[in-house]
Amino acid sequence: MSDVNKVVLAYSGGLDTSVILKWLEDTYGCEVVTFTADLGQGEELEPARTKAEAMGVKEIYIEDLREEFVRDFVFPMFRANTVYEGEYLLGTSIARPLIAKRLIEIANETGADAISHGATGKGNDQVRFELGAYALKPGVKVIAPWREWDLLSREKLLNYAAEHNIPIERHGKKSPYSMDANLLHISYEGGVLEDTWAEHEEEMWRWSVSPEAAPDQATYIELTYRQGDIVAINDQPMSPATVLAELNRIGGANGIGRLDIVENRFVGMKSRGCYETPGGTIMLKAHRAIESITLDREVAHLKDELMPRYAEIIYNGFWWSPERAMLQKMIDASQASVNGVVRLKLYKGNVIVVGRKSDDSLFDAAIATFEDDAGAYDQADAAGFIKLNALRMRIAASKGRKLL
């Protein structure tokens, strides 16, 4: 164990990572550097500093990464209209590559030779953290305590904390769910959700009202796009993180963004999760709307074909991979003309597109009209177009090929 002198720990200040901090010191005889990231989880982070100081940590990093998170990770992902398995907007998945990046950067800054995280051996996050770490620093040592120790229950963790005088705050009844939050979403797992037939509990949700309790009056908003990213809401310019925070507020108030799914984890098991993604749900609908008038047909269709692969790359933890970088360049190139304004109607859990406009629009009303187009489109041309497209089928039928 003596080959590890200093470890950078992804530290929240909660029970798990507080125990990990002490366990690393005792097991590896090493110095621990703590790193706590503000990704918009809505919690006060200074208590993490106080706890780390109380445990004798000398190097403590607490960083506000909200703007970087949305600008460099969430927005690029939404340019691809990314959805995993048809529903999941990847709120947890997209946060992990940024955390991995900062863990490695801090390891380089402090001369640490290892990093550590609190992800369990059953989940996706261990894969995401470690794939990112190895991609950015091939020789780094990764310590995953949940794969090494025998503290595999909350009771054992509490006993360890008591034995080693680790300060643990208790705030009444603990949530029955395993939760993860950032500016893009909140996830909920465990508890009653482990029964796939049991309905999720209404009191579980934190950001949104139920669609039934949402206002009877619809809310209209206008989103301004520049090269595929939202830059203003209702003509008010905003930074990326501010855009997402405001869309979360508006969407949550209208009962938007709740999801209950069973997904396929990369490690092989199925897992039920509930997700609250009000801002992301609005962003996905609006982005597809602005693309509908600004993207060439074949470009749009090619993006749709590649999107499931891109989503899988992110879900499985390969953000820092050459294939994701290659796809990102193509996706970003497609967004040069994705500029304009989308008008949305938000009503009781629904996001309804009611208008879109752009100086880069490819929609030509003079051609698309059902009225007299004054010769803009010669309908007689369609006959030859159809016959040529039917040629292979006509030949096959004339040769006796049967389809029925």
Pick left, alpha or beta for residue 64 (phi over 0 → left; psi -120 to 50 → alpha; otherwise beta): beta
CATH architecture group of domain 6-66+93-163:
3-Layer(aba) Sandwich (3.40)
**What fold, for 178-295+337-357?**
Argininosuccinate synthetase, chain A, domain 2 (3.90.1260)
Long-range own/partner contacts, residues 200-204 (CB < 8 A, 24 or more apart)? 200/260, 200/274, 204/177, 204/274
Q: Single out the catalytic residue among 79, 96, 258, 356.
A: 96
Global pTM value: 0.93
Question: What's the full length of the chain, in residues?
Answer: 404
Determine the straight-line distance between the first and last CA of the chain, rounded to whole angstroms: 69
Q: What is the pLDDT of residues 249-297, one digit of tens each?
A: 999 999 999 999 999 999 899 999 999 999 999 999 999 999 999 999 9
Which pLDDT score is estimated for 136?
98
21 has a pLDDT exceeding 90: yes
Q: Single out the catalytic residue among 18, 125, 180, 356.
A: 125
**178 included as an active-site residue:** yes
Q: Single out the catalytic residue among 178, 271, 321, 361.
A: 178
- Whether the CA torsion 309, 315, 318, 319 is positive or negative: it is positive
Distance of CA 88 to the CA centre of its chain: 8
In 150-251, beta strands by DSSP E: 178-181, 186-189, 219-226, 229-233, 236-237
Distance between CA atoms of 314 and 163, rounded to whole angstroms?
40
Distance between CA atoms of 112 and 8, rounded to whole angstroms?
7
Domain ranges of the chain: 6-66+93-163, 178-295+337-357, 367-398
**96 included as an active-site residue:** yes
- φ/ψ of 320, rounded to 5, equals -90, 50
Q: Single out the catalytic residue among 16, 208, 229, 337.
A: 16
pLDDT band at 168 (very low <50, low <70, confident <90, very high): confident
Q: Exposure of 11 by Cβ count < 10 A (0-12 exposed, 13-18 middle, 19+ buried)?
A: buried
Which pLDDT score is estimated for 3?
86
